[in-house]
Structure 1
Amino acid sequence: MPSDARIPVTILADSDNLAAWLGAGGPAALLTDAPQLGPGFVATERLAPRPAHRFGCACCAGRSAAAMALDRLFQGRARNRTGWFDRVAVVAVSATAREEVAAALREDALALARFRPG
């Protein structure tokens, strides 16, 4: 059975488990909505979830902020603008941000092609 070459994304409940997660594997990227970035990552990207409007207006019909943030991480890696990473940690303060990342990993075709739930 072939292995899955997509980059694993782990959504951590909080930053308390971050040090253990970092120590358990190779180079990592961080996707966060927290005001301060954690140390030890070769790439970081901020996530700013957009509030959903009531009737699915045109500004909400595009790709989610989480999907676009994952794209920026991948493009940075592919274009050698960041260090190489083998996995991504998501530390999101808000439940909205965590759900937006989870939804991108379930529903966004481009994010699914590059990333998988870890």
Structure 2
Amino acid sequence: MQTDPRIPVTILPDGDSLAAWLGADGPAALLTDAAEPLPGFAATERFAPRPAHRFGCACCAGRSAAAVALDRLFQGRARNPAGWFDRVAVFAASVAARQEVAAALREDVLSRARYRPA
């Protein structure tokens, strides 16, 4: 039995694994860099990963786009305009986007408090 109350986040490697993941276990949200929404999710947030050092180093650039998108998902869940979800899938076409989400789960204080790697 899972005792960690944080929302699990699964970073999916490709589109083929998305359908299988969505078919298992309860309502889900999607975090993506795709332009078009994908059906079957209680909530969807899009983000565009920032290139490293776009506005300076991570220390002075603020929160990453992935961390902000995770925050928007959580706020939508808490305030209920998006619908309830028990887990989050990350479907990102670029390696940079997947790395940014992983970094947010590892380094961003709010993301770490609300979410955990699945």
**TM-score, normalising length: structure 2:** 0.92
One-letter amino acid matched to 1:66 = A
CA distance in 2 between counterparts of 1:13 and 1:30 reads 14
Q: Is the 8 A contact 1:104 1:111 kept in 2?
A: yes
RMSD, aligned α-carbons:
2.1
Q: Is the 8 A contact 1:7 1:116 kept in 2?
A: yes
CA distance in 2 between counterparts of 1:36 and 1:54 reads 25
Query: Equivalent residue for 2:46?
Result: 46
Query: Equivalent residue for 1:64?
Result: 64
Query: Equivalent residue for 2:97?
Result: 97
Bigger mean CA offset, 90-99 vs 31-40: 31-40
Q: Is the 8 A contact 1:30 1:41 kept in 2?
A: yes
Please say if 1:110 is aligned against 2:110. yes
Q: Deviations over 1:17-64 (max 9, x none)?
A: 111101111000000001222110010000111112278358952000
Q: Deviations over 1:69-117 (max 9, x none)?
A: 0000000000111110000000000100000000000011100000000
Structure 1: stretches of 5+ with no match in the other structure: none
Q: Where do 4+ consecutive residues of structure 1 move more than 3 Å?
A: 57-60
Q: Is the 8 A contact 2:7 2:115 kept in 1?
A: yes
Please say if 1:8 is aligned against 2:20. no
Q: Is the 8 A contact 2:55 2:61 kept in 1?
A: no
Look up the SS of the partner of 1:8 in the other structure. Answer: strand
Look up the SS of the partner of 2:90 in the other structure. Answer: strand
One-letter amino acid matched to 2:51 = P
CA distance in 2 between counterparts of 1:40 and 1:66 reads 21
Q: Is the 8 A contact 1:52 1:60 kept in 2?
A: no
Q: Is the 8 A contact 1:53 1:60 kept in 2?
A: no
